[in-house]
Structure 1
Amino acid sequence: MQSQDVAPRPAPSSGPVVDVEQAEAALVEHYPRLVRLAYLVLPPGLGRGRRVMTAHALTQRALPRGRASGDASVIPAQQSGGGRDGDPGYAYVRLRVVRAALEAGLPLRLRARPRRAQLPPLLPHVWGLKLFPRSGGADELALDQRLSALSGPARAAYVLRGLEKLPDTHVRKVLAAAGVGDPDAALAEASGVEARDSLLDSPEFDPCSLHARPTDLMRRRQHVRAALAATAAVAVCGALLALPGDGWGPDGAAAPSYAQNPAAEAALDPGRLTKVAGTAWESSARTDFSVWPARGGLVDDSALLRRALAVWARPGESVRVSATPGTPSGAPPGPPQLLYAGEVDQARVVLLYDGLRIARYAEPKDGTSGAALDFARVDGANRAEANAVVVGRSDGNVRYLTAPWVTGAAERDLMKPSSGAMDLPISADGVTSPLAGPAQSGACTSWNVLQLKDGSGTRLMTDLGELTPAHLTAGKPSSPHEASGAEALRDWSPFACSLASARSQGVRSVNAWRFARQPLPDASGTAAWVCTRADTWRGGGTRVLAQFHTPGGVYGAVAAKAENSPACGSRDPHVLAGVLWKSGTGSWYLLAAGSRDTASVRATGGVEGSVRGSMLTVRARQGAQAQLKATLSDGRSISGLR
């Protein structure tokens, strides 16, 4: 521990007891949450892989050994609520998990018998694989770094406050029961970290949703003589790690290499990187990432470029690796193209492109510890989709590297279509000033997007938590247009917050199509039906939302949604959706609408009704359910989106 030791376990006291079956039921029901709790309390110095395995081991050993345990009497009951709240079985298991995680951080002493939690877990164990949680963004990384600076009891206090939502009085009791000598000091230390409770639920801290990477395959396949040589090489590298410098010498945070593959080595040679001339795009028939010039103040820093290439090929255990869905994260097939190398905020950043993917390598200015590697698929990008790449994130702000043909950038709030755009300066290297990203937690009161101008028009791009921003369009799927026009901005405004559902999905573009305007009963005005479709770089995984917006409302309501559906797309530009709606007079109605080429609509089930045309209004009861069918003008039948 950094500053506070864990006292000896308190003696069991009399009081209500917890049965084995009760504790086991709580452990099974809340296992993912308990493992997350253990992972967050464990000392970060263990490394992400060992923290994962240790968190699972400690949680699985949290069951009492006998039929009952007196520890329950010192466990504070949580505030009223359902589920785990007020469950003494869950509180008992949680206490044992917290206690074991704190003990795991105690230093081993020569003359003291080690506690079980201090030893590496024998089980669970996975041979030949490294397992680690999915990497988050800059906010998660910043929180992880702040938590690593806390003592074990302070980390436990922060997590019990933020993840378990316990008041401080209950946190003190849990810490005292877990053996913490000074719970008040732990709470005071935890209060020094900015409260970002929502981040504790991030996939960054989920040891049940894991990435898997092989350990050194070449080394495992060698015979005994080669294994001895490899062991000697590891010993030499271990000695190098003890020396001052940047870790693995010229390869930075990369894992050691034992392979001698000329083709692979050529791909890691910074001297063979493709560097496009600054004016190549002006005479090229292509307008994609292949004609981006190499920019940035560190394009000639061979040591930095070699580290970036080596980490791409062999990311070390400490490197945070992320990739958009459907994006391979393997080594480059040959020397890639350099897009950017320079300093962004407090990091050195390298952007590389291999024809299929963009890879972003980032390391702190003062070393290679905490390096990150991100991948995004960009094959087939057109001019609009190759307009910008995220080059840095810090404190909720985003900086973009813009395409060489971009002539201007601005920041716009998509929820305020009439507020205008605020100019965003672009440096000589093509990097924008910081742009406030869309809020990731709490109430959605704004949605900032990037507005870019070039010789062919004005486009809107939105950050969805990935390297490449998504291109926003509006209009009929067969002929969408840019979302930067006044009418398109008004159409997008009530539905901007629905973009949050497309985060981290590898989204290429999102189109908003107002497919119907429906008069409301009881003289309530006219409602708008809008279909938003998010298409991905990999083709599959599309997300379709049919949304309903009434007069005077700030937000649209999601009436129906579907995944991997052709609806609202260029191949099937049709949609049918319905919603139960309550008028100002208190009457309930089923409202349904289809696109313009809908000849008739019919509702069956809990609500019966039909109409010729594309819009149906039928009186209904609150909570009624109905099935929708429509016939198109060409005679084809479609079902309601669901």
Structure 2
Amino acid sequence: MQSQDVAQSATPSSPAGPVIGVEQAEAALVEHYPRLVRLAYLVLPAPAGRSRRVLGAHGLVQRALPRGRTPAPLIPAQQAGRDGDPGYALVRLQVVRTALKRGARAERWARLTPPLPRVWGLKLYPRPGGADELALDQRLSALSGPARAAHALRGLERLPDGDVRRVLTAAGVTDVEGALAEADGIPEPYRLLGSCEFDPCSLTARPTDLLRRRRHLKAALVGGAALAVCGTLLGLPGDGWGADGAAAPPYARNPAAQAALDPGRLTRVAPAVWKTSARTDFSVWPARGDRTGDRALLRRALAVWARPGKSVRVSATPGTPAGGPAGPPQLLYAGTVDTARVVILYDGLRVVRYAEPEDGTEGAALDFARADGAGRAGSGAVVLSRADGNVRYLTAPWVRGAGERDLREPGSGAMALTLVDGVTSPLASPALREGPCTSWNVLRLTDGTGARLLTDLGELVPARLTAGPPGSPQDVSGAKALRTWAPYACSLGAMRSAGVRSVNAWAFAEQPLPGVRRAAEWVCTRAETWRGGGARVLAQFHTPGARYGAVAAKAESVPACGKREPRVLAGVLWKSATDGWYLLAAGSRGTASVSATGGVEGTARGNLLSVRAEKGARADLEGRLENGRSISGLR
């Protein structure tokens, strides 16, 4: 999450500066366009993903021109070719100001891309750098927006701290000294800012998901037909259902839909059914909470589900339909939590959460999460509320104990949480945390069959954490699994709001480091989604003594590291303290040989490769499995 210390309105440029015309500003923008786009790319938040971040950087630079004659800021340029150019200083200030506003709205920015520029059918992202660049990108993504801006202005623009303060103040930053102090935490801060890793003007192009595009086209055609039918129904006579709380006005009479909105027809499961049922999932959860008999609240929740009004905030995990219930759903919870009235319902496919303030229905929220095929492990808990940086869960009836532990600290124990009618006491949520990742708190549940860890990724159903080979992952409960996860816990931040069902960490190789009597660890983390497709895979490289693992490669919608393709090959550029740069590559067990071609040439028998390389070199990796099949390096 990004820091919220950017003011709502930017401070205007000083009237004491010269007046800049749009022509002069355009000339500066065109001449220095690559540098301005790189600056915007560095300041923008990471949750949007590299492709959207590239388009966003180009978009906000292209919209940085003033609308007329504007006073120039009193911050000069500091590089040859820009020194004394007030047009450049004006455009640069506008770029920083707009990028910080985007950062202050990071959650919405992660879902929305500016309308222009737009590239259909292609993913564009900068060329990948080495391990140092990847580590720097991770560190920058953990900073607040103003701290990233301070770092970029110092390193890329070579501005002294006095000018950096003036730029940030003019851009609307309220805590300038805090931003500078936070930026001081980046080691060897500026030597990598000119790398191709941060160059959104030198791009790699790949196609988007072709099958998903085909499905979306079909869905659009079906949606158009449905809209036409709804338009016809809107013109039909009749009084409709009547408005309910924050629900939209009624549109047509439908006996089946009316039955789905009747609180008296809600399915309610007895408390002990789960003990004898053949299924152990959300379908056997009993109805709990102090408002299960509040028919007015239940009616409002059902009505808003069927037709949410304009004031209702609606969210759904990717791949989850947001339509109304087909029939009477099952009631899981209705009660007062913190300062809200909350209702949780289940229709066999989705878990739905309705929340409204205690003092009315204005500001109601409706959340959807897909939960089909959850099973015992996937239906251990749902998010009941998030407030003040904390989260409360409603746990399954078979859960006997709950605790909170820091995934970053494998040696620390779990702190017990109280359970009252299945509701946990509040625990810190990593999905709500701002600033650098120094801890990652997870929920630990015990149910008589063992212990498992769940993590909040900003959605209704928490994700299950596992460790081990893809064919036989185990819950993270033992010391070895906890040690495996510790360096990679913060990488879970890249998987927020993606509909993640479970995340597995698999230590697939250890590799001796050249000139060092220690070995580095290769770990593959794979996030499976509730919709089946769209899995996210990260190959991470962890050197001895490092607190965090570095992302060496990442991919989406690939079978690598999964049950169907339990193989992986990845490489990274690594710098020895005494012996220069190396290309290090590792394959999973069963890899007979590894070869590198392109910018680095080399072949090794077995699953490990170590070849001398130049800084910034690029190579293509290919492995040969023991069964003769080939495998390509993960990108």
- By the TM > 0.5 criterion, same fold? yes
Partner of residue 484, structure 1: 477
CA distance in 2, matches of 1:515, 1:422: 31
Letter of the aligned partner of 1:445 in structure 2? T
Deviations 1:494-533 (A, max 9, x none): 1111111110000000001111111222133011111110
Q: Secondary structure at the match of 1:384?
A: helix
Deviations 1:425-474 (A, max 9, x none): 111x2000001011643221111111000021100111101001100011
CA distance in 2, matches of 1:355, 1:268: 16
Alignment of 1:332-347 (within 5 A): 332-347=325-340
* Counterpart contact for 1:579–1:591, Cα < 8 Å: yes
Change (3 A) 1:621 1:84: farther
Change (3 A) 1:360 1:218: same
Partner of residue 461, structure 1: 454
Unaligned runs of 5+ in 2: 1-8, 41-58, 99-106, 112-144, 151-162, 183-219
RMSD between superposed Cα atoms in Å: 4.3
CA distance in 2, matches of 1:304, 1:369: 14
Change (3 A) 1:25 1:353: farther
Letter of the aligned partner of 2:422 in structure 1? G
Letter of the aligned partner of 1:400 in structure 2? Y
CA distance in 2, matches of 1:382, 1:225: 43
Partner of residue 201, structure 2: none
Partner of residue 416, structure 1: 409
CA distance in 1, matches of 2:300, 2:397: 26
* Counterpart contact for 1:63–1:93, Cα < 8 Å: no
CA distance in 2, matches of 1:444, 1:317: 36
Partner of residue 19, structure 1: 22
Letter of the aligned partner of 1:370 in structure 2? G
Q: Secondary structure at the match of 1:325?
A: coil
CA distance in 2, matches of 1:171, 1:86: 16
Letter of the aligned partner of 1:573 in structure 2? P
Q: Does 2:450 match 1:448? A: no
Change (3 A) 1:270 1:508: same
Partner of residue 603, structure 1: 596
Change (3 A) 1:70 1:136: closer
Q: Does 2:374 match 1:371? A: no
CA distance in 2, matches of 1:23, 1:588: 42
Partner of residue 71, structure 1: 70
Partner of residue 88, structure 1: 90
- Tell me by how many angstroms 1:553 deviates: 1.2
CA distance in 2, matches of 1:61, 1:623: 32
Identify the match of residue 433 of structure 1 among 425, 431, 440: 425
CA distance in 1, matches of 2:560, 2:451: 27
CA distance in 2, matches of 1:604, 1:337: 58
Alignment of 1:314-329 (within 5 A): 314-329=307-322
- Tell me by how many angstroms 1:306 deviates: 0.6
Q: Secondary structure at the match of 1:631?
A: strand
CA distance in 2, matches of 1:639, 1:301: 58
Q: Does 2:571 match 1:578? A: yes
Q: Does 2:257 match 1:272? A: no
* Counterpart contact for 2:306–2:325, Cα < 8 Å: yes
Identify the match of residue 297 of structure 1 among 275, 282, 290: 290
Partner of residue 521, structure 1: 514
Q: Secondary structure at the match of 1:251?
A: coil
- Tell me by how many angstroms 1:167 deviates: 8.6
CA distance in 2, matches of 1:283, 1:404: 13
User: Larger deviation: 302-311 or 81-90?
Assistant: 81-90
User: Of the two structures, which has the highest relative contact order with CA contacts closer than 8 Å and spacing of 6 or more?
Assistant: 2
Q: Does 2:520 match 1:537? A: no
How many residue pairs are counted as aligned between the two chains? 501
- Tell me by how many angstroms 1:640 deviates: 0.6
Change (3 A) 1:523 1:63: closer
- Tell me by how many angstroms 1:415 deviates: 0.8
CA distance in 2, matches of 1:334, 1:348: 23
Change (3 A) 1:433 1:86: farther
CA distance in 1, matches of 2:109, 2:583: 44
- Tell me by how many angstroms 1:222 deviates: 6.7
- Tell me by how many angstroms 1:624 deviates: 1.7
Deviations 1:249-305 (A, max 9, x none): 971111110311111111111111111111110110101000000000000000000
- Tell me by how many angstroms 1:488 deviates: 0.5
TM-score (norm 2): 0.70
CA distance in 1, matches of 2:491, 2:350: 27
Change (3 A) 1:14 1:444: closer
Change (3 A) 1:625 1:411: same
* Counterpart contact for 2:485–2:505, Cα < 8 Å: yes
Q: Secondary structure at the match of 1:309?
A: helix
Letter of the aligned partner of 1:323 in structure 2? A
CA distance in 2, matches of 1:389, 1:525: 42
- Tell me by how many angstroms 1:22 deviates: 4.0
Q: Secondary structure at the match of 2:356?
A: strand
Name the larger-Rg structure: 1
User: Larger deviation: 487-496 or 609-618?
Assistant: 609-618
Identical-residue share of aligned pairs (%) = 60
Deviations 1:308-352 (A, max 9, x none): 011111111111000001111111111110000001111100000
Q: Secondary structure at the match of 1:330?
A: coil
- Tell me by how many angstroms 1:353 deviates: 0.5
- Tell me by how many angstroms 1:21 deviates: 8.0
Alignment of 1:143-162 (within 5 A): none
Deviations 1:13-36 (A, max 9, x none): 994331258469979x999x99xx
Partner of residue 594, structure 1: 587
Partner of residue 393, structure 2: 400
Identify the match of residue 637 of structure 1 among 618, 630, 633: 630
* Counterpart contact for 1:23–1:92, Cα < 8 Å: no
Letter of the aligned partner of 1:611 in structure 2? A
CA distance in 2, matches of 1:554, 1:566: 29
Alignment of 1:248-267 (within 5 A): 251-267=244-260
Q: Does 2:618 match 1:619? A: no
Partner of residue 46, structure 1: none
Identify the match of residue 509 of structure 1 among 477, 502, 510: 502
Change (3 A) 1:63 1:592: closer
Deviations 1:385-404 (A, max 9, x none): 10000000001101000000
Q: Secondary structure at the match of 2:532?
A: coil
* Counterpart contact for 2:242–2:249, Cα < 8 Å: no
Change (3 A) 1:433 1:84: farther
- Tell me by how many angstroms 1:411 deviates: 0.5
Change (3 A) 1:172 1:539: closer
CA distance in 2, matches of 1:601, 1:566: 20
Change (3 A) 1:13 1:498: closer
Q: Secondary structure at the match of 2:275?
A: helix
- Tell me by how many angstroms 1:135 deviates: 10
Alignment of 1:35-434 (within 5 A): 64=67, 69-73=68-72, 77=75, 86-89=88-91, 220-221=231-232, 251-427=244-420, 429-434=421-426
- Tell me by how many angstroms 1:585 deviates: 1.4
User: Larger deviation: 545-554 or 160-169?
Assistant: 160-169
Change (3 A) 1:92 1:605: closer
- Tell me by how many angstroms 1:616 deviates: 1.2
- Tell me by how many angstroms 1:61 deviates: 13
Change (3 A) 1:617 1:362: same
CA distance in 1, matches of 2:398, 2:271: 11
CA distance in 1, matches of 2:435, 2:232: 51
Unaligned runs of 5+ in 1: 1-5, 35-55, 97-132, 138-159, 176-186, 199-211, 234-247
CA distance in 2, matches of 1:490, 1:61: 47
* Counterpart contact for 1:161–1:168, Cα < 8 Å: no
TM-score (norm 1): 0.69
